[in-house]
Amino acid sequence: MDDDKLLLAQAEDLIGRCAARDIPACSGFLDARQQSILRKKFGERQGDVTIAYSGGYDDADRVVMACLPYYMDGTYFDDVLTVIRASVPKNSEAARSGRALSHSDYLGALMGLGISRSVTGDILVNEGGADIIVLKDMAEFLLQNLTGAGRARISAEEVPLSELRIPEQTWTEAGDTVASLRLDAVLASAFRMSRGKAAEAVRQGLVFVDHMEAGRPDMTVSEGAELVIRHKGKAKLLEVGRRTKKDRIGIRIARYEKK
């Protein structure tokens, strides 16, 4: 069984268990492509089962899929997700050197413990450490074993989702004109790349529109759409304006950047 078929089979099993027993069921953390596959297949409801996604905060890249019975809502995620706060002691050699640990340092430390990527969500790096969103049943293991990252000693504590430290983020807005609202044209404008490279990114399965993997470079993008190119970033088509005298379409785009 290939990975996509296995993913769908596991999701069908979660939905079936929820429907049969009226109890919630939850997947591991999903990347953008996995999310797209499940959203396309199952939508927001299967019979009496509500399907919801969360990664602990609104702009999370990695999310879990929850199958919820009729009597439950999105507050369920507070019961299955938690935050491991990793901190570099102020008197440590790493803190004195001024070299901040990176996302890769923390991810490498987690993978070095032999755990699956599916049990950890986004890693939000901040001054002096990082907040790591994880499945609650992994919290105790990480508290006992996550003692270092990037050759630096770190301490770990569990904090609730409500205390999650979300890094400062900005949306940079800009106006432009495009020949059409084709996806490759809008991507080229938003990410300052050629239409050829934008089209190739679509064909490689790297582009997502409103959480769905884009199927074709020539698909039409609607006002308000969220655009993601994996490893490049996120943008929104804020406004579609009038045609110019040169028969181009005025647009306004916001490009998202994490600081």
pLDDT in tens, 162-182: 999 998 878 899 999 999 999
- CA–CA separation, 96 and 250 (whole Å): 50
Domain 169-258 carries which CATH code? 3.10.290.10
CATH number of 81-163: 3.30.70.330
pLDDT 10s digits, 100-145: 789 999 999 999 999 999 999 999 999 889 999 999 999 999 999 9
3-72: CATH topology is Ribosomal Protein S8; Chain: A, domain 1 (3.30.1370)
Report the predicted TM-score, pTM, of the whole model to 2 decimal places. 0.85
For the chain, give every residue range classified as CATH 3.30.70.330. Answer: 81-163
* pLDDT of residue 259 exceeding 60: no
Where do you find CATH 3.10.290.10 in the chain?
169-258
**HEC string of the chain?**
CCHHHHHHHHHHHHHHHHHHHCCCEEEEEECHHHHHHHHHHHCCEECCEEEEEECCCCCCCCEEEEEECCCCCHHHHHHHEEEEEEECCCCCHHHHHCCCCCHHHHHHHHHHCCCCHHHEEEEEEECCEEEEEEEHHHHHHHHHHCCEECCEECEEEEECHHHCCCCCEEEEEEEEEECCCEHHHHHHHHHCCCHHHHHHHHHCCCEEECCEECCCCCCECCCCCEEEECCCEEEEEEEEEEECCCCCEEEEEEEEEEC
Is the pLDDT score of 46 beyond 70? yes
pLDDT at 204 over 90: yes
Portions of the chain given CATH number 3.30.1370.160: 3-72
